[in-house]
Amino acid sequence: MELAQYLPSPVNVIHLALAIFTVAGLAVIGGALTGRKRDPSFDIFCGFGVVTGLMTVLGVLTNIPFSWMAISFWISVPLSLLLVWRRDTSPNGQSLQLGLIAKILVLALPILISVSAMQASQWDEFSQWLFNSLYIWKFDSFPQAGLPRSPSVFPAYPHGNQLFSYLVSYASGTFVEMGVAFANILLLLALAPVYVSMIGFGCETSINQTKSWFAAAVGILGVTILSTTFVQKLVFTAYADTATGVLMGVLGILLWRLLNDLSGKSIHARSLAWQFALASMFFINIKQTNLVLLGLMLLAGIAIALRDNDISLFKYLRYLLVMLAPPLIVYFSWRFHVSENLSGREFSLKSTDLWLIEEAFVILARMFLIASKKGAYFGMMFAISIAGFWCFISGRGGSYGRLLFISGAIFTGYWLFLWTMYIAAFTEYEGTRAASFWRYNVQLGLLGALTAAVTLGKLYKSWFSSHLVARPFLRRGLSTLIIFGVFVAPLAFNHKIRIDIRPQIQHMRFVGKELARVIPSGSTLAVLDPRGQGLADLIIKYEVLSFSRFATPPKFASWVGSVPSSLESLKRRLKEFNVSHIWVHQKTDWYAAGLGLRGIRDGGSTLISKSVDGTWRIEKFWPYLGYADPYSLPD
């Protein structure tokens, strides 16, 4: 494998740098809006919330183009920085926080460089997430009446992540395909200081001791490998699961700290509630089902306030109004836009007569079967849930018991919610197989990891701390080894990060770009991929409809032929869609002969076009490079 394909181009590096600067700008704005008493660990998440939330509300309720909002964002960054610098008279804690973040970024450089060299490669990226990002970049607006129809499968999904991609793309002057992926990895790294603080809480370590290179390495490990839900296909892509998982962790810790503060003198309660409100503006704007997770979290808080004699329910409910108002404004603004412009273009419930009531316990059994195969995550969450409910019922556990209950209650409630959705929203094929059950649970993994980090800190203090203090050489050696491992591992296992380096995917993306240049405007292109499951259709559709040189791109028809199809049904569908061009992914004798294409070759894909007399002719052939079977993807 050539080394060059693992290295980013100068343009890729610039895009990554712009993404980092954008995140820094969001952090400054988040810090400016949350006051002097805030915890700066959460500035980034608050900035994401207020900026993308405000862009959503303005994008729905006004005609202000996103480009004007982007300009306003970049103007507000230096003003916010000046405000923070002049207002925050005690910068020591912030300087320590910035020092830890800088160390984390340095140790994560190999990961960041690898991600900057990547291109999109996964199913849902091509079906909706990239189209959602590209649409608002092209039209400076959300999809709406009077604009071209979005080719996204689900354009009604919230656009919080996509608005970050817009800010990066606007700064670069071109569409940044990896914009959302950059957001995912940078959000994950921004959570590392929070993980370190949870370890510190468990082992009762001073703040100065949690800002070292070793602490930075532990933070990176905690939000990646030790989280039990680190999946490259979700973290290094435009999928919404990573951002959802990060914000779940952030909001869970903020709620826990708020409850702890309310049990005491309530010194920081207002600041914590405001940080929760701003961060949840982003959380609610990532995925449509995040409203359910937010509701489960706040209900867990109400239960704790009712159970705990040290916490005033009235005070909690008063702060709850502050915590809910901003995210609900964002949520209902987007729901209004969907009802007016995108009705029916999202995943929704089926009619009650199609619910899988009789298969309910088959679905539940399938969920437990999947859980048994992901023992690290589900074992952790089941243990947290049992401990949390025990603490809640017995009234023991103190501060940590509250966190255990919050995490356990959300996990249990989410299981029940997913079970209900498999019954009421999924097809029989997907529902009875509990489709994507593991992926949906990934969204709770970081909250579980942050909760478990306290236990790790307690175990370290009880079992290991005294031994390492007595053996400074061993302590320094282990610290050096962990720091070195965190930095070097991404280099050694770069092929695991670069899930986009698959010759089959590279072939499809290259051919798609070629097709975008040669298919005439007004034509209808079909993909003939009888053995495929639809990935080729999605990739070709993305390349052709997104980057065609024509103002009006060619039309697109997919799934015109499959393995059980007959020649008659294929011809009928070609006529029905008025297909003028077909991209043939792999030769299959039954349609090659039936369409009079005896000259079509194996070992590559082919473009054929329809002549005036109705016959089909071969236009271009693209050989496979480095593989023989286009369906032999390793993952």
Write out pLDDT tens, residues 447-464. Answer: 999 999 999 999 988 888
Task: Indicate the range of 15-29, 382-396, 423-437, 529-543 predicted with least confidence.
Answer: 529-543
Is the pLDDT at 566 greater than 80? The verdict is no
Whether 595 contacts 602, CB under 8 Å: no
pLDDT at 95 over 90: no
550 pLDDT more than 50 = no
Mean pLDDT of 241-258: 98
Rg, the chain, Cα only: 26
According to the 3-state scheme, what is the secondary structure of 148-203? CCCCCCCCCCCCHHHHHHHHHHHHHCCCCCCHHHHHHHHHHHHHHHHHHHHHHHHH
Q: How confident is residue 28, by pLDDT bands cut at 50, 70 and 90?
A: very high
| pLDDT tens sequence across 352-375 | 999 999 999 999 999 999 999 999
* Window from 3-7, 33-37, 59-63 with minimum mean pLDDT: 3-7
Single out the residue of 283, 279, 334 nearest to residue 157, CA to CA. 334
Residue 85 contacts by C-beta under 8 Å, 6 or more apart in sequence? none
For position 565, what pLDDT does the model report?
A: 61
pLDDT band, residue 242 (cuts 50/70/90)? very high
Is the confidence at residue 320, as pLDDT, over 90?
Answer: yes
Residue 163 · residue 129 · CB < 8 Å = no
Average pLDDT of the residues in 545-570: 63
pLDDT at residue 208 in the model? 58
State the chain's maximal CA–CA distance in angstroms: 89
- Which one, of 81, 82, 56, 83, lies nearest residue 69 by Cα? 56
pLDDT in tens, 572-588: 888 888 889 999 988 77
- Kindly state the percentage of the chain with pLDDT values over 70: 94
What's this model's pTM, rounded to 2 decimal places? Answer: 0.94
Own/partner long-range contacts of 600-608 (Cβ < 8 Å, ≥24 apart): 603/628, 605/507, 605/511, 605/630, 607/515, 607/518, 607/581, 607/582, 607/583, 608/581, 608/582, 608/584
What's the whole-number mean pLDDT along residues 318-338?
97
Those residues whose C-beta lies under 8 Å from the C-beta of residue 421, and which sit 6 or more positions away, are none
Mean of pLDDT values over 134-155: 93
Distance CA 301, CA 118 (A): 41
Neighbours of 426 (CB within 10 A): 23
Q: Which fold has domain 503-623?
A: Rossmann fold (3.40.50)
Q: What is the mean pLDDT of residues 487-496?
A: 91
Q: What is the mean pLDDT of the chain?
A: 91
Give yes or no for residue 519 having a pLDDT over 90. Answer: no
Backbone angles phi, psi at 294, to 5 degrees: -65, -40
Least confident of 233-242, 298-307, 406-415, 553-562: 553-562
Q: Which of 524, 519, 515 is nearest to 577 (CA)?
A: 524
Domain locations in the chain as residue ranges: 3-496, 503-623
The answer to whether residue 426 scores a pLDDT higher than 80 is: yes
Pairing of strands 616-623, 604-610: antiparallel
92 has a pLDDT exceeding 60: no
Neighbours of 610 (CB within 10 A): 18
- CA 462/CA 482 separation, integer angstroms: 21
CA angle at 422 for the pair 421 and 425, rounded to the nearest 5° = 60
